[in-house]
Structure 1
Amino acid sequence: MIGAGRRFLASLRIENVTGTKASDLTLTLFGDRLRFFTHWMYAEGYSHYREIGTQAFSSYQDYAVSILADETVEKRTLTTIAAYLDVPRRLYQQSSLFHSIPDMVIAADPLGGETGRSICKRLNLDDFGSVKPVPDEIARPVIQEAIQWVDHFSVDILNAIELQSFLFRRVASWNSNDYTKPINTGLTGFRFNIGGRDAEWRPPLVASLPVRVDSEHGERIVQQSPLQQLSDLTEDLVGACGITIHGLTGLRSSEGASLKALPLSETGLPACIEIRPSQIGLNEVFYIKGKLTKGRKEPVDCEWVAGMRPRGTDYLPPPVRAAIVLTKVYSFWRALSGTTDLWLSAKRASGFARRTHTVTRVQTKTLLNHENNFIRRHVAIPDKLRSWRINRAQWRKKFSQDVIKSDPDAIPEVQLHYQHLSDHLIESAYFGNDAKLLQLIEDEAMNQAAQDVARMIFGEQPYQSKVVDQLAAALKRLSLESNDPEDIAVTIRRELAHEGIRIWSGTHGDCFYRWESALCHIRSKGKVNLTDDRPLFADRSNDTCGSCSNYIVAARHRPYWLSTFKRRRKGWQDMLAAGELLLAEAMHQRMTVARNYCLALRVPADELS
């Protein structure tokens, strides 16, 4: 590969098929990009340029974007990232000069007619090189379907895997090399009905299933055996588990691949899961423990918060449940190979690996492929977003946003998960030791505050807040110099940073924290301290927060206050009917507070009558 690279660079100086002969500066720049590409080729097992096609480029694209557009390295411009993606295309164009060296000739454009820049646009990379978060229109149905697979469909797939393992052990001692036929016969007809407790959610395994396959050679129909059908289902379940873990914790692919399943803990949880009491002891916090590799010469121990539950309950957060499923999925192959990894590579052409040496560690690109295949096969997303390919940096950005302000239209359990994470972030200054993820969350908190304030002061979003009223006039004056919403948000972000304000989300309202007016600290400790940087978790309540000038109620809190109003109205009516006039008067005052919030948030008056 090194020799081929040198020949390629030399040819650019002698005859550059796309333009003029390359200068010393051009050769230096392209040499850096070619070295990056060669490192990827070596890591993925490619030896010659002729092996690089569209499928290989798809893998290189994921690798290049995850490295170059990741927040852990110096941010690069869109032009630079596009230039790295263009390397295989330039190799293809220049390879027309090397017919005498077949290994250097690439038969077709690996980019399929696209350019590096058009790919950047398609992947929604901005001009600063950072990846945009997974859009809500994708994230909502994907996370919902993934959790459905983890909690329900996994029952049948795990039973089928156990049946496959039983059949293999039974035939392994036979004096025959044809193991697959009796295993396929034993799997044929297996039914998927949540362990017999529900209606079938998919057809049974059949002796031969026609499946349409797309490859760089075109579309074709292949016949899948029961083992191959189960292998695809297992891959999809693993993809669902990966989405649930990575999408709801912020782990990268390489970090997910470092997680360990064994030995199981005393509670029966995988080795990578640890439970510790929260700072004030009211809750139990789940941590995922693994290795941090990006930006490090050597892997270092790291942990990420995976969820929280009230102390004494048996609730398990979705990422923990997904880790448990993965522990069960690969239990047979861990025993076969003696490995302890949470994820393994056990899929083979005939179905599954059957020998120790064919069970290998999983590659990060494989995890990404499992997740994208799961989405393609099982999730209905808008047509305009069908070409979107998920990568870990997008999930990481989405995660940092939802920790600060979760999507109000997400399914209830996902909302609960993020509320738990947000509560823990407020209760404890500790949120794992992934410094870059913490910085991403902090940056997102400031960005959200700036965007919210911008929408509020210009009348785009209803609110009720003393702090915004106090800042509105000054921020409007600063923002009138520009008509660009992004420039306005940048201006507001800068001023909020100067004021030391950031947002701490809550179910009933958010806190735009300023230490000098933090009523929760004043009531709890009798004083404020300029070193305090967040509200007191244990003292957050409607009464305390509602009297604090840091408190803000915005549009996303409308459902909470409308339900609170209706509950208090019923309580007031019941107390009147029972003749409890003093209690009714007190409840009426609380009902009025809720009603005023609803009116400020533009709830129709007929719902409040």
Structure 2
Amino acid sequence: MSVIVGSIFKRQPGYDGCPHEWVAPPVAVQAISVLEALSEPHRALTARPELWLRLRRGNGAWEWHEVQPELLEIASAPRVSHLLRRFGAALGLSHLDKPWRLTTHQGRKTFARFAALRDRSCLFALAQHLGHRERAQTDHGYVGSDYRLNQEIDAEILNQSVAAWEHMLAAPGLGGRAGAEIVAKRPRFRGSRMKQDLRSYARLLVDAGLVLGVCDWGYCVYREEHSACLGNATGPNPARREPSTCARCQNFVVSAQHRPYWLEQVRRSERLLNEPALPLQTLRIVRARMNEARGLLRALGSDTAEETDHA
């Protein structure tokens, strides 16, 4: 896991300037790598580590030539916002026939609202990630209530569920305990209207109230009485839901699109088993996880010679 290391400046006594770490996804790491490459001449010229060193005035390619160190400074937030607006205009970004004004805070707030409105149990983690001293600040200032956004999220979850059911109804093979049940009971679709019939049946299952959990390692056709994560009437328990728990659950389904995830689990387990310093109990857990992943891969059928060697 990559993190961005910095300091928090919230203008609060005893908190301003506090060291902090932010989780950095791959796209953020790539963006920082690009910024490091762009700023390298300025940093070398000034012997300063900051990535946002720019000329006090002016923009364009000419600013990278014959620059005097004393003319370089860290770009202010208003200047970065101005450059973002120019970038948005160059891309032709618009909303309701009006130019879309990009800001430095926009992505941060949009991410926080989308994540928290979809699962409010993540508010504490969001507050820590954003550097808020109190969870209430995240809830009130970033999340709040947004009826239209809630509608969009519900629509996206509905489309995601329908697409997942379509995939499971058409997949040649499924793994997991619920996967075998679906393969045995699903109708057979044939003829020129097969795609339309598949989608109609998938929508029927969703409208019937079958809760479907979608994640990187598989699907959860949720039934409370079979829930290994000890979920409730509304759905799976997010605190206990993780790959190993799902793998032994009667609600779990895995398809060919999840094969890369489980193959990587096998590879990671094999690397760990080659570590001589691991305690015996850890080795037992790793071996059990590896056997789970191999079992799911066998249920899906071998895809490549490399995978056959691992499974």
What residue number does 2:186 align with? 475
Q: CA deviation at 1:271?
A: 12
1:433 has 2:147 as partner: yes
Tell me how far apart the structure 2 counterparts of residues 451 and 237 of structure 1 sit (CA, whole Å): 37
Tell me how far apart the structure 2 counterparts of residues 279 and 557 of structure 1 sit (CA, whole Å): 26
After TM superposition, the score normalised by the length of structure 2 is 0.56
Q: Over residues 131-167 of structure 1, what are the superposed CA-to-partner deviations in whole Å (9 max), with x where a residue is unaligned? A: xxxxxxxxxxxxx8xx959x749989x9889624xxx
What residue number does 2:237 align with? 536
Q: CA deviation at 1:537?
A: 1.5
What residue number does 2:57 align with? 163
* RMSD over equivalenced CA pairs, Å: 4.8
Larger radius of gyration: 1
Q: Over residues 322-378 of structure 1, what are the superposed CA-to-partner deviations in whole Å (9 max), with x where a residue is unaligned? A: xxxxxxxxxxxxxxxxxxxxxxxxxxxxxxxxxxxxxxxxxxxxxxxxxxxxxxxxx
1:163 partner amino acid: R
What residue number does 1:190 align with? 62
1:545 has 2:246 as partner: yes
Q: CA deviation at 1:585?
A: 4.3
Q: 1:572 to 1:498 in 2, by over 3 A?
A: same
| Structure 1, unpaired ranges of 5+ | 1-143, 165-186, 197-230, 244-252, 262-267, 285-310, 316-429, 523-527
3-state SS of paired residue (2:164): helix
Q: 1:256 to 1:270 in 2, by over 3 A?
A: farther
What residue number does 2:176 align with? 465
Tell me how far apart the structure 1 counterparts of residues 274 and 60 of structure 2 sit (CA, whole Å): 62
After TM superposition, the score normalised by the length of structure 1 is 0.32
Q: Is the 8 A contact 2:93 2:99 kept in 1?
A: no
User: 207, 218, 230: which is aligned to 1:509?
Assistant: 218
Q: CA deviation at 1:540?
A: 0.8
Q: 1:600 to 1:472 in 2, by over 3 A?
A: closer
Q: 1:475 to 1:599 in 2, by over 3 A?
A: closer
Q: Is the 8 A contact 2:244 2:292 kept in 1?
A: no
Q: Is the 8 A contact 1:454 1:488 kept in 2?
A: no
Tell me how far apart the structure 2 counterparts of residues 148 and 258 of structure 1 sit (CA, whole Å): 22
Q: CA deviation at 1:472?
A: 3.0
* Structure 1 residues 480-495: aligned runs within 5 Å: 480=190, 482-495=191-204
Q: Is the 8 A contact 1:259 1:272 kept in 2?
A: no
Q: CA deviation at 1:595?
A: 1.6
3-state SS of paired residue (1:510): strand
2:299 partner amino acid: A
What residue number does 2:125 align with? 283
1:599 partner amino acid: R
What residue number does 1:199 align with? none
User: 161, 165, 174: which is aligned to 1:450?
Assistant: 165
Tell me how far apart the structure 2 counterparts of residues 273 and 584 of structure 1 sit (CA, whole Å): 42
Q: How many residues end up aligned between the 2 structures?
A: 235
Tell me how far apart the structure 2 counterparts of residues 468 and 504 of structure 1 sit (CA, whole Å): 14
- Between the two proteins, what is the percent identity of the paired residues? 17
Q: CA deviation at 1:444?
A: 0.7
Q: 1:500 to 1:515 in 2, by over 3 A?
A: farther
Q: 1:473 to 1:449 in 2, by over 3 A?
A: same
What residue number does 2:297 align with? 598
What residue number does 1:312 align with? 128
Tell me how far apart the structure 2 counterparts of residues 548 and 584 of structure 1 sit (CA, whole Å): 23
| Structure 2, unpaired ranges of 5+ | 1-26, 43-51, 69-81, 132-143
Q: Is the 8 A contact 1:448 1:503 kept in 2?
A: no
Q: Is the 8 A contact 1:475 1:492 kept in 2?
A: no
Q: 1:471 to 1:500 in 2, by over 3 A?
A: farther
